[in-house]
Structure 1
Amino acid sequence: QEKDYPMGAHGFARDMEFEPLLCDMDECWYRLKDTPETFYKYPFHFELEVGHRLEGRTIQVMWRVNNTGSEDLLFMAGGHPAFQVPEGRTIYDYTFEFNKTGTRAGTCQDGLHYQAPNADGFEQEELGGTLALTDGRVPLTKGFFDRALTYIFDQAAVGSVSLLLDGKPYVTVRCDDFPYLGVWSVEATHPFVCLEPWYGRCDAEGYTGELKDREGVVTLPAWESWEKSYSITIGE
């Protein structure tokens, strides 16, 4: 609405203290509400609830956004899970396996279209491309992240992604129906790989329109709620 609001990288929620709602042996929930501090950065009334549920070898990560205001709530949300390699291994021992929405049998076969950001963090069309796959798999070889600082797979093309070690799933992130999946690492310094389900993405280079018209922004009507979840499974 013709106003500028200051906000740091990845928004503000990650830098704030959440109120505990429920904590038991297998499940925890936390809540963040808008404050005068958040309203200065983000002019919306909201409640954000984040839950974690342990089910065997799987952690379910749950999000609930409540619009507590009288106008549309515009937001994006993204996970930031990173997976360190086991002792004695490097990231180059990993192989990616990409699967379509649904079961592991629905493997992405030949290739996946991706978007990519430039060094300033803006999505740049000419940096995108197609990641070639063989039966849904591609090894993480040296220089893999030279072609893209972050691989952003869009259009809900990926239902789950696994990091394989010796041909077997070491960890699997299932993100059915998430419109975006970000995959990244910094090869020279990071002994881990990030597999990040997103509802939203970085801005396109040169975009000057309204927030409500940006690709990836979720619009939640007044007094309504929005719920999504993804899961992380260790092993097969």
Structure 2
Amino acid sequence: MTASPVRIASDALSATIAPMGAELQTLTTGDGAELLWNGDAEWWTGRSPLLFPIIGRAPEDRIAIGDFTAPMAQHGFARRTAFELAGTTATSCRHILRDSEATRAVYPFAFELAQTHALDGATLSVTTKVTNTGTDPMPFGLGFHPAFAWPLPGAADQPHAITLDNGAEPVLARIEDGLLPDSRLPSPFTNGDLMLSHDQFEADAMIFPEGAGNGLRYGPKSGPALQFTFENLPNLALWQKPGAPFLCVEPWHGMAARKDAGHQITDRPGTLTLAPGTAARFSWSVTWRA
């Protein structure tokens, strides 16, 4: 029997979280406006998948850890695996995924992946803790892939922008055949500002390997907006299906495999390796500013 989504609510927002992938399904304002993408299959069925143990593609969709090799689909297996509900309150819930025979067949490690969604007023926080419960060093990448309405509620006729808190102009990377080349392109940001247009995504995601900072604002230059903060997530991507009514704001620790670099997870940019018995924490939050 499939478990039902969990609903949590604050005085300003409500959210539902599905057990499959511990994935956020809705993020709704107090007056009923939906901030999250609805998963319409015409464009993209995802809403806010968790990316683990890889981000992006692997060459020929295969990974290697030492002499071990296995197939691995884009963004890993966590998003397609049911999590267990470990606890819930009126404003928060916690889901856990532990290794199993199925996960060890493609990723030979003992682990615990715990994801918490929590609401505090107009802010949603999503925190993931990765624990190596085994006896071997464990390499992995972890990222978030939430999709938000474009345009935002109440801003249908206004151009939208991304504004980096740090005012930086980070260089741009574009994937080629799903993999990350070593080449970089000039930044599309000017003093931290990027005016968004659908044609920017005709060449797939805009990836910023470094320098985008720990926070940004998404929305029109004046009016309703979403304010993001990131913890332990140094890489950023922006993505949509060109012309789709959503924008993915994706903070990552890790990226797609480098072009021509082989299958080893440890060779992927941004890979972390946890010693046995240790853990790492990753978090993002978003605040609705109507």
Deviation at 1:140, TM superposition (A): 1.1
Q: Match of 1:144, SS?
A: helix
Residues 153, 224 of structure 2: 8 Å contact kept: no
Amino acid at match of 1:230: W
Matches within 5 A, 1:78-117: 78-84=143-149, 85-86=151-152, 93-100=159-166, 107-108=167-168, 111-117=169-175
2:72 aligned counterpart, secondary structure: coil
Residue 103 of structure 1 corresponds to: none
- Superposed counterparts of 1:24-35, under 5 Å: 24-35=89-100
Q: Shift of residue 156 of structure 1?
A: 4.8
Question: Cα offset for 1:90?
Answer: 6.0
Q: Do the aligned residues in 2 keep the contact of 1:74 with 1:218 (CA within 8 Å)?
A: yes
Structure-2 residue corresponding to 1:182 = 237
Distance 1:207 1:169, change over 3 A: farther
| Alpha carbons of structure 1 residues 81 and 211: separation in structure 2 relative to 1, 3 Å | same
* Alignment pair present for 1:6 and 2:61: no
Structure 2 letter corresponding to 1:154: P
Cα displacement string for residues 113-143 of structure 1 (whole angstroms, at most 9, x for unaligned residues): 122212x2111234x3122433321211352
Deviation at 1:91, TM superposition (A): 9.5
Q: Which amino acid aligns with 2:204?
A: L
CA distance in structure 1 between the aligned counterparts of 2:263 and 2:198, rounded to whole angstroms: 38
For 1:156 and 1:139, locate their aligned partners in 2 and report how far apart those are by CA, in whole Å: 18
Give the secondary-structure state (helix, strand or coil) at the position aligned to 1:70: coil
The one-letter amino acid of 2:173's match is Q
What is the match of residue 42 of structure 2?
A: none
Q: Give the Å deviation of 1:164.
A: 2.0
Counterpart selection for 2:260 from 206, 223, 235:
206
What percentage of residue pairs aligned between the two structures are identical?
29
Which one-letter code corresponds to 1:71 in the other structure?
A: D
Aligned length: 224
> What is the TM-score when the length of structure 1 is the normalising length?
0.87
Higher relative contact order (CA 8 A, sep 6+): 1
- 2:132 and 2:160 map into 1 onto residues whose CA distance is 41
Instruction: Report the Cα distance in structure 2 between the residues aligned to 1:234 and 1:87, rounded to whole angstroms.
Output: 11
Q: By how many angstroms is 1:67 displaced?
A: 0.6
The aligned runs of 1:11-90 (5 Å cut-off) are: 11-84=76-149, 85-86=151-152
Within 2, Cα distance between the matches of 1:142 and 1:81?
Answer: 18
* Structure 1 CA distance for aligned equivalents of residues 78 and 157 of structure 2: 30
Show the counterpart of 1:141: 197
Pair 1:223 & 2:289 matched: no
Unaligned runs of 5+ in 1: 101-106
1:125 has 2:213 as partner: no
Q: Detail structure 1 runs of 4+ shifted over 4 Å in the superposition.
A: 87-92
- 2:241 corresponds to 1:167: no
Distance 1:90 1:202, change over 3 A: farther
Unaligned stretches of 5+ residues in structure 2: 1-65
1:234 aligns with 2:288: yes
Query: Cα deviation per residue 1:37-58 (whole Å; 9 max; x = unaligned)?
Result: 0001111110000001101111
